[in-house]
Structure 1
């Protein structure tokens, strides 16, 4: 648990060059990630159900507090990999069934949610090393490959292959540039 939390903090430190104390006081995205990590650990633990429900009840209060003051909703049942980074706070909604890989960055206004009808209804699965730009929306039973860049204000409703940049409404592949310089 501490290893995962320290990975998130180290990523914030790499980007900002600021001290851990400064980041813990000032970075709303980091607050949301920490509350998510603690609640997710409880959710996935083998604690007896009655005790887990008490802990999650308290954790939900912290989650709602963070959601209200930061505008970031990271439900404890979502699966978010190591070294997660939220570039700016506000308007970030992640579905409780979403899966996000390791070393991903998201910007303000991002929605990762449920959409579609019939067999296409579902929640996205996002690979490793993915950068998601401001106000992007990723919805439906789709998979976003590794090393992908989703441009700002894009609407992604179809699966995306590895190592490319997507842009537009609906998002289309605009280049083979990967996320190497964004992450």
Structure 2
């Protein structure tokens, strides 16, 4: 139901599952395992997997912290989009990659929930994509020292509000890893 013309395909969008981003993340191992199972399933079902990788002064390009976690490895043919802003579409090749793949629906996983995941969800939705968040396949670190709620509440709140997000001609929602349907609503 995307508003993008001639874009019938779905892609799994894996955001910033990098060593330095998820090192202290809430339920890190379970989330990475869920992402890994979705990557494996997407590959079996011939659904494109698109990886996003953040770089900035704390995640220096080429450093160990910048690298995607060792449990997850992009396949040679899978695009890796580098970014330096929260929204994975801002000043990147992501839109071109998705257009070439004829993708109009995104299944979104990754880190951090309250930063790049939220920004990318909103960015994709406003650009016309159907955007599904996998509720048990995104995470964040503890930012309570800066006034944020505890990570579990940040994740739960994001899952709640995204499950009720909507707009004309597009779909949004939150599903569990076990309920992901890459064929999606049509």
- TM-score in same-fold range (> 0.5): no
Task: Give me the TM-score of the superposition, normalised by structure 1.
Answer: 0.26
RCO higher in structure (CA 8 A, sep ≥6): 2
